[in-house]
Amino acid sequence: MRVLVTGGAGFIGTNLVNALIKQHEVGIIDDLSTGHRKNVHPDAWLRIMDILDSDLDSAVAEFAPDAIVHLAAQASVGESIKDPQRDWDVNAEGTRRVAAAAAKAGVSRVISASSAAVYGEPVEVPLPEDAHKEPMNPYGRSKLAAESLMAQELASTSVDFASFRFSNVYGPLQDWRGEGGVIAIFCAKLAAGDAPTIYGDGSQTRDFIFVGDIVGAITAALRTGRSLRDGGGSGPAYNVATSRETTVDEVAANLREASGFSDSFVYAAPRDGDVDRSALDAQKALDVFAWDARIPVDRGLAETWTWFSQNG
Ligand SMILES: NC(=O)c1ccc[n+]([C@@H]2O[C@H](COP(=O)([O-])OP(=O)(O)OC[C@H]3O[C@@H](n4cnc5c(N)ncnc54)[C@H](O)[C@@H]3O)[C@@H](O)[C@H]2O)c1
């Protein structure tokens, strides 16, 4: 199969490309705004460009993929607040254009990255796909809009498609600079011999999912003979998550054990906008394309720490 990965030089993209390239022809479109060329697999076809560029259609047609995994995005909540227009352009309009290019190029399937941010403050835990949606920031709003723009663009075509709402992803190659993910930030601090800071009392929960499980979900969805857009009757959005809550204190305890860090973590006041509890119910992904998260958090954290201790 020929698989085009937009955002293939980023955190999730690099992990995905490295797995796909063992069995498939892989192409990457990435503007390297947050991705890194040094992480791009040498055997991948690479086009450095913005997905908003007018030659997107011809780049997609040139690689002629069977499937597109659309990960390219403005992925930072903080940046979305600073520059909501750019966030909207890349995430909402960019996704519409990738979907349109896919239809023109005769692609069979598009899997597009969405986020737990589309739900906003969780009203129940774990959240099913049809839960109330009230995003709390421009990033969540652009991701939610991207889902419907892709659906509008592809509704009257034969392209199969799905939006995957990832929970909190962590693992090797995650960027800890800027906003980063909390686990990448903890690992980078520990690698420097410094005590990480926990905002809040550490009892807050997230649905932390190891990037290897995200790769597993995407490869399972690329392989399935089932229609993703039909979604077993409930539409093209899927939570891709562990369905479990992990406290920040559990993360800290596992990383202390893995790293041998003997000092305490520092506790500070909670930050505005941080929710207390969060998890997504991923039962639908199991029902439709037979995927569930397999990597327990202690193993994922140990693997992540090993990578940061060698590369961080
Ligand atoms: N990491 C998480 O916890 C998480 C959670 C939910 C959803 N997601 C989504 O998963 C996807 C991948 O996220 P990530 O964590 O790997 O982020 P990332 O920033 O590491 O990767 C995004 C990639 O897209 C590229 N890119 C950005 N804007 C572009 C543009 N206009 N044109 C072409 N390329 C562009 C960047 O250079 C980068 O390589 C994103 O869509 C993100 O919103 C991530």
State the CATH number of the domain containing residue 71: 3.40.50.720
- 139 CA: nearest ligand 1 atom: 43
Any atom of ligand 1 within 6 Å of the Cβ of 279: no
pLDDT at 179 over 80: no
Take atom 18 of ligand 1 and give the residue whose Cα is closest. 10
Question: What is the three-class DSSP state of 8?
Answer: coil
Domain match, 266 and 128 both? no
Q: What is the pLDDT of residues 194-216, one digit of tens each?
A: 999 999 999 999 999 999 999 99
Domain match, 143 and 30 both? yes
Q: Report the range of poorest mean pLDDT among 71-80, 87-96, 154-163, 266-275.
A: 266-275
Domain match, 195 and 96 both? no
Token code pair at residue 161: 């498609």
Residue 38 CA to residue 260 CA, distance in Å, equals 30
% of the chain beyond a pLDDT of 90: 94
Q: 71 CA to middle of ligand 1, Å?
A: 5
Domain match, 132 and 93 both? yes
Asked, for residue 250, whether it belongs to a domain, the answer is yes
Domain match, 82 and 224 both? yes
Asked, for residue 222, whether it belongs to a domain, the answer is yes
pLDDT at 177 (0 to 100): 83
Asked, for residue 257, whether it belongs to a domain, the answer is yes
Domain match, 164 and 261 both? no
Domain match, 300 and 269 both? yes
pLDDT at 23 over 90: yes
Which of 46, 80, 97, 166 to probe ligand 1 with, by most ligand atoms within 8 A of CB?
Answer: 166
Take atom 1 of ligand 1 and give the residue whose Cα is closest. 169
Asked, for residue 34, whether it belongs to a domain, the answer is yes
Asked, for residue 303, whether it belongs to a domain, the answer is yes
Any atom of ligand 1 within 6 Å of the Cβ of 31: yes
| 55 CB-side CA count, 13 A | 7
Domain match, 77 and 226 both? yes
Residues 6 or more apart in contact with residue 19 via CB below 8 angstroms: 215, 219
Is 170 designated active site? no
Q: Are 81 and 138 in contact (CB under 8 A)?
A: yes
Domain match, 150 and 44 both? yes
pLDDT at 258 over 70: yes
Any atom of ligand 1 within 6 Å of the Cβ of 196: no
Q: 146 CA to middle of ligand 1, Å?
A: 14
Over range 84-94, report the average pLDDT. Answer: 98
Phi-psi region of 218 (alpha: psi -120 to 50; beta: other; left: phi over 0): alpha
Asked, for residue 62, whether it belongs to a domain, the answer is yes
Question: What is the three-class DSSP state of 266?
Answer: strand
Which ranges in the chain belong to alpha helices (H)?
A: 11-20, 56-63, 77-82, 84-88, 94-104, 138-154, 182-191, 211-223, 248-259, 283-289, 297-311
Domain match, 230 and 122 both? yes
Domain at 192, CATH number: 3.90.25.10
- Amino acid (one-letter) located at 203: S
Over range 89-109, report the average pLDDT. Answer: 98
Asked, for residue 290, whether it belongs to a domain, the answer is no
Where in the sequence is the domain holding 182, given as residue range(s)? Answer: 171-207+244-278+295-311
Asked, for residue 285, whether it belongs to a domain, the answer is no
How far is CA 124 from its chain centroid?
Answer: 22
Domain count, the chain: 2
Which ranges in 235-296 belong to alpha helices (H)?
A: 248-259, 283-289
Q: What is the pLDDT of residues 109-155, one digit of tens each?
A: 999 999 999 999 998 999 999 999 999 999 999 999 999 999 999 99
Domain match, 9 and 28 both? yes
Domain match, 152 and 88 both? yes
Q: Which of 139, 170, 199, 238 is catalytic?
A: 139
Over range 256-279, report the average pLDDT. Answer: 93
Over range 155-161, report the average pLDDT. Answer: 97
234: pLDDT confidence band, cut at 50, 70 and 90? Answer: confident
Any atom of ligand 1 within 6 Å of the Cβ of 224: no
Question: What is the three-class DSSP state of 236?
Answer: coil
